[in-house]
Amino acid sequence: MATMHDVARLAQVSVSTVSYVLTGTRPISQATRNKVLAAMAQLDYQPNAMARGLASRRSRILGLLMPMDERGLGATETAFVTGAAAAASVAGYHLVLSPVGGGDLDDLRRLASQRMLDGVVLMEVQLADERVTVLQEAGVPLVLIGRTGDTSTLSYVDIDFDQTVREAVAHLVGLGHRRIVYVNHSAATLASGYGPALRTRDAFTAAMTGHGLEPVMIAAEDSAAGGRAALAAAFAQAPELTAVLAMNETAIFGILGELTGRGLSVPDDVSVVSMVTSPQVAELATPALTAMTSPGSALGRIAIEALTRHLDGPADLRHQQLLPCALEIRGSTAPPRSRQPMGADQ
């Protein structure tokens, strides 16, 4: 493995000159630059990341901290990651994904204090998230995907849930639906302070009330069975429902299955809209789901851009931005068929 010394010797310049060629921190004449570049190529020189990091006190590594639960990463999260990785690469940083679970607060503290990460993007932020505190205390530059309760001192990018829900509701209301049930994440998730669940709940209430309609929300476990149970609960609370709005990629398949099981067809009997869903998942269902598609890769890109700007520019700037999901109409929504309410169902 060739070092900078070898390159300098071969090019007959000093080590510092080689360094300046590499980093561009000082002007170097074209002739010298060429000599150095040639030597580097000849030796197949690659700078040693550790030495560089030690001397410059910047690793040029960005961390993307993603809690990995057993559910896996949806296409949404994946788009997010690829968007972030691409942006990092453009900015001259490596992006590493760290699967830190919720319990590893100590692990996180260690990671942060070891000066191995120049900055961090945090996914799946809770309203009150200890990880934020740990990272802030360790002095690691930070950008959130999602928001904590108090956003005053933080940079974040998040989905504009308010706007997204409003648009979804408007779509259904525009088709003529009046009785719309919102299937949210589980009660436990709500209780744990998961921002998206809380924000969509409130947004749904506001949107429905704004249309003069009664908001009905059901909490569903993140499983197919949870979706089935949720649909049963929905019919119990609102027998005459004609549309379901859901933000729960797992439960939605249970909802669909249960609908079919009850002899109801989508979209003729019940319209279904899935929120924060990727096209890929929306296409899995039959019929394909009308969905609010999340701006996954844009979120990732923007988060990284905000972070690198923060690192490279000396500015102490905060970046706060909300992006709405885009309505993509597929086969699961239609005007309601005027039919008899399900009455004594279930």
> Considering the complex, what minimum distance in angstroms separates the CB of residue 49 from DNA?
8
Contacts 24+ apart (CB under 8 A), 201-207: 203/161, 203/162, 203/164, 203/165, 203/166, 204/165, 204/169, 204/245, 206/162, 206/166, 207/165, 207/166, 207/169, 207/170
Nearer to a second copy, 89 or 153 (CB): 89
Q: 89-104 burial, b for 16+ CB within 10 Å, e for fewer?
A: eebebebebbebeeeb
Which of a second copy, DNA, none does residue 315 bind to, with CB < 5 to 8 Å depending on kind? none
**Rounded CA separation 260/127 (Å):** 37
Which of a second copy, DNA, none does residue 78 bind to, with CB < 5 to 8 Å depending on kind? a second copy
- Count Cα neighbours of 28 within 13 Å in the Cβ-side half-sphere: 21
> Considering the complex, what minimum distance in angstroms separates the CB of residue 5 from DNA?
6
Give 290's DSSP letter.
E
Nearer to DNA, 47 or 176 (CB): 47
Nearer to a second copy, 3 or 320 (CB): 3
> Considering the complex, what minimum distance in angstroms separates the CB of residue 17 from a second copy?
21
Which of DNA, a second copy, none does residue 284 bind to, with CB < 5 to 8 Å depending on kind? a second copy
> Considering the complex, what minimum distance in angstroms separates the CB of residue 224 from a second copy?
5
Nearest to 259 by CA among 137, 267, 186, 153: 267
Phi, psi of 159 (to 5 degrees): -75, 140
Nearer to a second copy, 112 or 197 (CB): 112
Nearer to a second copy, 26 or 71 (CB): 71
Phi, psi of 160 (to 5 degrees): -85, 85
Which of DNA, a second copy, none does residue 5 bind to, with CB < 5 to 8 Å depending on kind? DNA
> Considering the complex, what minimum distance in angstroms separates the CB of residue 51 from DNA?
3
- Count Cα neighbours of 10 within 13 Å in the Cβ-side half-sphere: 20
User: Taking the CB of residue 52, how many other CB atoms lie within 10 A of it?
Assistant: 16
Nearer to DNA, 34 or 346 (CB): 34
Give contact residues for DNA (rule: CB under 7 A): 1, 3-5, 12-17, 19-20, 22-23, 25-29, 31-33, 45-48, 51-52, 54-57
Q: First CA to last CA across the chain, in angstroms?
A: 72
Nearest to 306 by CA among 103, 73, 124, 122: 122
Which of DNA, a second copy, none does residue 71 bind to, with CB < 5 to 8 Å depending on kind? a second copy
Nearer to a second copy, 75 or 342 (CB): 75
Give contact residues for a second copy (rule: CB under 8 A): 1, 46-51, 53-54, 59, 61, 68-79, 81-82, 85, 89, 94-99, 107, 110-111, 113-116, 223-225, 250, 253-254, 257-258, 260-261, 278, 280, 283-286, 288
